[in-house]
Amino acid sequence: MSYSKKDEGAYCLFCALFGCGVVQFQRSKTEKLFFKPFQDWTNALKVFDNHGKSQFHMSCASVTSALLSRCKTKSVGIGTHLKRTNLVLIEENKKKLRPIIKTVIFCAQQGLAF
């Protein structure tokens, strides 16, 4: 949960960040913690508990969890990955060319056409 001083209410942070794909018929169920601030504090525990068990909230929470784990792991950027892939490819090509070059040099030393 995240409290907004400006709106004087609470929002579900997971749903507010990752709930853009809400289908229209689900909107009424999630509107209080997603589109509009929650301000009815007398029923807060019941509403928060029901919201936390909803399929919509669980899917937003799993997306959040996946994003956080991705941010915490030290992964290389796409540029670095491509550079490494290219270096491996270059080394493989060099290994393939060595016997060809040796054969060309041998034929040239023997005066053979190639």
Tell me the mean pLDDT in the region 2-16: 87
- Residue 31 is predicted with a pLDDT of 61
Are 103 and 60 part of one and the same domain? no
Are 113 and 64 part of one and the same domain? no
Are 46 and 83 part of one and the same domain? no
With CA atoms as reference, report the closest residue to 16 among 40, 33, 38, 41: 33
Tell me the mean pLDDT in the region 69-97: 86
Are 54 and 108 part of one and the same domain? no
d(CA 60, CA 62): 5
With CA atoms as reference, report the closest residue to 9 among 31, 32, 28: 32
pTM confidence score: 0.52
Structural domain span for residue 105: 76-114
User: Radius of gyration over alpha carbons of the chain, in Å?
Assistant: 30
Are 15 and 55 part of one and the same domain? yes
- Residue 94 is predicted with a pLDDT of 96
Are 6 and 52 part of one and the same domain? yes
Are 61 and 81 part of one and the same domain? no
- Residue 13 is predicted with a pLDDT of 85
Are 88 and 65 part of one and the same domain? no
| Range ranked top by mean pLDDT from 9-13, 38-42, 105-109 | 105-109
User: What domain count does the chain have?
Assistant: 2
Are 31 and 53 part of one and the same domain? yes
Are 59 and 107 part of one and the same domain? no
Is residue 11 a contact partner of residue 32, using CB atoms and an 8 Å limit?
Answer: no
pLDDT digits (tens, 9 = 90+) for 18-77: 776 655 445 555 566 777 888 888 888 888 888 888 888 888 888 888 888 878 877 777
Kind and range of the H or E element at 10? strand 9-11
